[in-house]
Amino acid sequence: MNFFVGESRISSRLDSEGIRDMKIGIKTLFILTLAFFINLVSAAPQKYNVLFIISDDLTSTALSCYGNKVCKTPNIDSLAERGTRFTRAYCQGTYCGPSRASFMSGYYPHATGVLGYKSPRPQIGDRDTWSQHFKNNGYYAARVSKIYHMGVPIGIEQGTNGADDEASWTERFNSKGPEWRAPGDGETLQNNPDGKKPAVGGNTFVVVEADGDDLVHSDGKTAKKAVELIHRHKDKSFWLGVGFVRPHVPFVAPKSYYPPFKPYSKMVLPPKIKGDWDDIPKPGINYCTSENMKMDIRRQKKSVGGYYASVAYMDAQVGKVLSALDEAGLREKTIVIFTSDHGYHLGEHDFWAKVSLLDESSQVPLIISVPGKKPAVCHSLTELLDLYPTVASLCGLPEQPRLQGKDISKMLDDPKHTVRTAAFSVAPFRRGFLLREEDWAYIHYGENGAKGVELYNVKKDPKQYTSLAKDPTHQKIVARFKDQMANKLREVRNNDLK
Ligand SMILES: [Ca+2]
């Protein structure tokens, strides 16, 4: 405020040349200061892009980076080679609707009450979903195809939005595809013992060796749109959700993806153990079994081969999206996440598909790649619910204490770091609840376990063949878990939604 007074006082002592020099000096100082602040801003934590790729109904056991020797997934493997691969990541609901509503909203299924195939919006009101939080912080937020629940195949055949949440996005795109109607060699494997049914629609095990190329199908179109969006938005910050629908049934992929799995008779099924179901309570017998689907050994093996071909096809689409990131020069600016909404049974215990709370169905593949961080394999327990707070924290967005997940970003610097002793998941159809610790898997049915209990020592019995729930020497552990489950449910329901 004294600038002009000062200038006039000084001017009385200086000649006009001196005043000019001083004005230039002040201008220079101003420019230097401005440059300093611009420099400060550019040195602030980098505003990463987020590329979230999610497959549908994908078990980690089908990926070569998780040890599969038959199904090769070079593109997902390449992401695992540069990121952190999690071996104990769990979904919060073992089918699409609740799982997706949970990790997008930041709440457990029992906190929002979204246990079916619905959008979480009525429960969360105006609270930000994961992508919306980024959108409200200056990001372009888009989804291509299935991020929230969409019916597969029917919603994909129609190209509709499903149980989507419009407020989560700046833009959204659906990828219509022919699904089971794709021209090619189709066979219905489920409930078709005399082979008289043609390829059918609905939530049915159908394999179609399809004519034509990748772009005939929904996932090919999804990859193409994602590539286009990456190039179009490479100069601003984006949160891009890319949802592939394979390997969800129907198992449809171009013919070129099938040769490694043919003849189907060479597919190896998991061992069939006599009396395997004897210690599983009734609600623990999965809704899809070899028996109730009327699938003989030939059909079971073809189911595995068809599933693998769908995984290989989906992996190729992941490759196209990852290449686009490199072509756009964004690898060093983008956090890439690859996961699935839940796992899948491929004949273990003669179970098929999802819903079960055993590891094949509740554990998910999860790879997180953050620029500049060392590649690692992390065995610490984590939940899909942790993605929202973790990625928000990595991008320097405001923290939201209401979120029920935990920030696991320290695990990306130190894979030995832990944030939880148990992962929690639910199977709403069966009122089933899982607490998965490093050494134990505890499952009970009915709010208090009245409908049955399973307990597995996963250290000694990783394939979960022998439930110890009724073993007299394990009753203390069962009692501990029962208490812990009651506490967990209380904790989950104690939130800001009410
Ligand atoms: Ca799913």
Residue 277 confidence class, pLDDT cut points 50, 70, 90:
very high
CB atoms within 10 A of CB 328: 18
Structure tokens at 82: 């540069």
Distance (Å) from CA 160 to ligand 1 centroid: 17
Residue 498 confidence class, pLDDT cut points 50, 70, 90:
confident
Residue 240 confidence class, pLDDT cut points 50, 70, 90:
very high
Q: Which residue has the higher pLDDT, 132 or 23?
A: 132
**72 neighbors 314 (Cβ within 8 angstroms):** no
- Residue 370: which region, alpha, beta or left (left: phi > 0; alpha: psi -120 to 50)? beta
| Strand ranges for 322-384 from DSSP E | 334-340, 345-346, 352-353, 363-369, 376-378, 382-383
Of 110, 133, 149, 248, which residue is the catalytic one? 149
Residue 27 confidence class, pLDDT cut points 50, 70, 90:
low
Residues of the chain with pLDDT > 90, as a percent, come to 88
Distance (Å) from CA 345 to ligand 1 centroid: 12
Distance (Å) from CA 173 to ligand 1 centroid: 19
- Closest CA relative to residue 423, chosen from 438, 413, 408: 438
Alpha-carbon gap, residue 464 to 149, rounded angstroms: 29
474 included as an active-site residue: no
Sheet arrangement for strand 440-445: 423-427, 432-436, 440-445, 453-457
Alpha-carbon gap, residue 388 to 337, rounded angstroms: 11
What is each CA distance from 462 to 28, 102, 440, in whole angstroms? 69, 27, 9
Residue with tokens 């060392």: 374
CATH topology for 49-420 is Alkaline Phosphatase, subunit A (3.40.720)
Alpha-carbon gap, residue 433 to 438, rounded angstroms: 17
pLDDT in tens, 437-484: 999 999 999 999 999 999 999 999 999 999 999 999 999 999 999 999
Alpha-carbon gap, residue 99 to 239, rounded angstroms: 20
Residues 6+ apart with CB under 8 A from 104: 120, 129, 130, 131, 147, 148, 165, 168, 388
Alpha-carbon gap, residue 6 to 331, rounded angstroms: 53
Helix axes 96-105, 387-394, angle to 10 degrees: 30
Domain boundaries, the chain: 3-40, 49-420
pLDDT in tens, 398-423: 999 999 999 999 999 999 999 999 99
Alpha-carbon gap, residue 484 to 482, rounded angstroms: 5
Q: Is 352 helix (H, G, I), strand (E, B) or coil?
A: strand
Distance (Å) from CA 14 to ligand 1 centroid: 80
Of 65, 91, 96, 288, which residue is the catalytic one? 96
pLDDT at 13: 41
Kind and range of the H or E run holding 103: helix 96-105
- Closest CA relative to residue 120, chosen from 175, 52, 168: 168
96 included as an active-site residue: yes
Distance (Å) from CA 418 to ligand 1 centroid: 27
Provide the β-strand partners of residue 335.
50
**pTM of the entire predicted model:** 0.91
Distance (Å) from CA 89 to ligand 1 centroid: 16
pLDDT at 428: 87
